[in-house]
Each structure stands twice: as C-alpha cells, then as structure tokens.
Amino acid sequence: MSLVKGIILAGGYGSRLYPLTIGTSKQLLPVYDKPMIYYPLSTLMVAGIRDILIISTPEDLPKFKKLFGDGSKIGLNISYKKQIKPSGIAESFIIGKDFIGDSDVCLILGDNIFYGDNISETLNKGIFNLKNGYSTIFGVKVDNPNEFGVVEFDSKNNIKKIIEKPRSYISNIIVSGLYFYKNNVINIANNLTPSNRNELEITEINNYYLSIKKLMLVEFGDTVSWIDTGTYASMLKASNFFQDLELKTNKKYACVEEIAFLLSYINENDFKKIGTSMKNSSYGQYLLKQLKN
C-alpha cells in the first residue's frame, strides 16, 4: 500500500440540493452515468493511493458499503467511518486518526471533480512535496471566489494568507477540495477551536502550515477542469460535460473499474467479472468492450 493514505469526505446534509438529497447522500447522486463519488475516488487512484477511508453520515455509510464493499473488487482497501454531524472538513483527520496511523494523507471532498489529461502529473507534485516535508493545496481560478477559501498573495506573488469567504475581492485563486498533508495534520486538527460557524475549519490548518513555511500551492492550469458539484446547475453541467467527452472520445472518465485494470490493481478475469455483472447496462457493455480492445 502507498505511504500516502486517502480520505474521501462524503458527509453533510447536501441541503443545497434538497429535495434530491433528503433520501440519499449527495455523493451517491449520478453525474452522467456513475455515482458522484466515483470521480474523487478515481482522483485518489490516479495518484497511486489504494488505502482509502470514506467518511459519511450514519444513514448513508451502509449505501457506500453496498457500492464498494471492502474495495478488493477494484484492488483497493476501503474502510468506513461515521461523521455524526457535519462539524467541518478538518474533523476528517480526527475521525480518521486510527486509519491514517503514521502515514501522510490526501483528503478529497466527495463533491469535487477534477478532470485533465495531465492530472496525474499535477497530483505527483503533491506526493513529491510530502516527501520533502511540505503539505500542498491546489489552487483554481474562479469567477466567484468569495464563496470559497481565497488565496491572498504578497507583492512577490507568494501566498500571504488564505481567507475564508471574504466579503471584498482578494484574488480569483481559491483553494479546491483536494489537500495533501503531512502526518502532523492530526495534531493540528486536534488543537483547532471551532469557528463562529461551530466548525473545525480547513482554512485554519492551511494557515498554520503557511505560518511554519510548510505549505505549497500548486495551481491547476487551463489543462485541468475543476467542478464543485454543489448545485443543480453544476451537477447538470458536469453530467453534460462527461457525456459530450465520451461521445467525442469513446472513453469513459472516472471509470474506477477500468482504472483499476489499467493500473494492474485487478487482472483480466476480475475485470471481466465486473463487466459481466453489469452487462445489461451500457456501462457494463463499455467495460466488456475494453477487454476486446
């Protein structure tokens, strides 16, 4: 298993998507032809991370277990932990403390989708930085920065501070929901004080690493797309995007079974078994077609 472990935070109420999410987790809703959680899972897989923890609500955890089991079908080791109520992104490291153990950790939010031909190159920078003792955040240029944690730069273009949902314009570079942290993130999270939203803020962790000069910013360039699927419009946009992409390329994106096969996490026989189990769907037929190719 990798020296870096992965956490997918798939909790919360998904209230921005009511009534869709009253009966199920947002991360189980479809983005084109697969559950939303396939996208962040595929990002971790492409980064070479195979030991993964899914954190969700007590109601939704059984559904994720039904979807993935222990992960062995796709050559992963997946475990599960409850988040009783949403108390901030940074709580992931407290919940996942035993899972993380002595490893470094990559956290990805369950509703964040990253797409790009050279995505693995960018992710490798995060792994490289960890080996050199640095944690990494990934910056994205957006039109609505005040809805996120915004990166403030000094006159030499170095990160000065990260400001959560600022009222005035600071910059248009925001911190996306993907983070590579050194193992000491567990202690940092344990020492946080809840904010006025009564949450343990991930921005506080980032600013702490910044204060000890141990934080790197990697900006996603124009070759990588980032989609935060928190609204009806963005979910529909993402679905249309991946449908169009498949029609153009005849390839599926975030197809975790195919990724597992291409990375040799599973063999041809395992891959065929999965495809056959879904042969009545176009998704299963796609998997079986890849075997012939």
Give dist(CA 60, CA 63) in Å, integer.
5
Q: What is the CATH number of the domain that holds 243?
A: 3.90.550.10
Residue 152 lies in a domain: no
SS3 state at 214: coil
Tell me the pLDDT of the chain averaged across its residues: 92
As a whole number of angstroms, the distance between CA 123 and CA 186 comes to 22
| 153 in any annotated domain | no
**pLDDT digits 0-9 by tens, 115-135:** 987 888 889 999 999 999 999
Within a domain: 213: no
Question: What pLDDT, on a 0 to 100 scale, did the predictor assign at position 1?
Answer: 41
Query: Is residue 11 assigned to a domain?
Result: yes
Tens digit of pLDDT at every position of the chain (293 positions): 458 999 999 988 788 889 988 889 999 999 999 999 999 999 999 999 999 999 999 999 999 999 999 999 999 999 999 999 888 999 999 999 999 999 999 999 999 999 987 888 889 999 999 999 999 999 999 888 988 889 998 888 888 999 988 998 999 999 999 999 999 999 999 999 888 888 888 999 999 999 999 999 998 877 788 887 888 998 999 999 999 999 999 999 999 999 999 999 999 999 999 999 999 999 999 999 998 88
**Would 33 be classed as within a structural domain?**
yes
| Closest by Cα among 135, 107, 88, 89 to 43 | 107
Distance CA 106, CA 6 (A): 5
Residue 108 domain-assigned?
yes
Q: What is the pLDDT of residue 2?
A: 54
Cα 211 to Cα 15, 158, 162, 177, 291: the distances in Å are 34, 13, 11, 21, 51
Question: What local confidence, expressed as pLDDT, does residue 177 receive?
Answer: 94
Q: In what helix (H) or strand (E) does residue 238 lie, and over which residues does it extend?
A: helix 232-249
Give the range of the structural domain holding residue 240, as residue numbers without chain letter.
Answer: 4-132+177-191+221-254
> Which pLDDT belongs to residue 108?
97
The single-letter code of the amino acid at 12 is G
Number of separate domains in the chain? 1
218 contacts 173 by C-beta, under 8 angstroms: no
Q: Does residue 110 lie in a domain region?
A: yes
Instruction: Retrieve residue 143's tokens.
Output: 């039109």
Give the three-class secondary structure for 117.
coil
226 domain-assigned:
yes
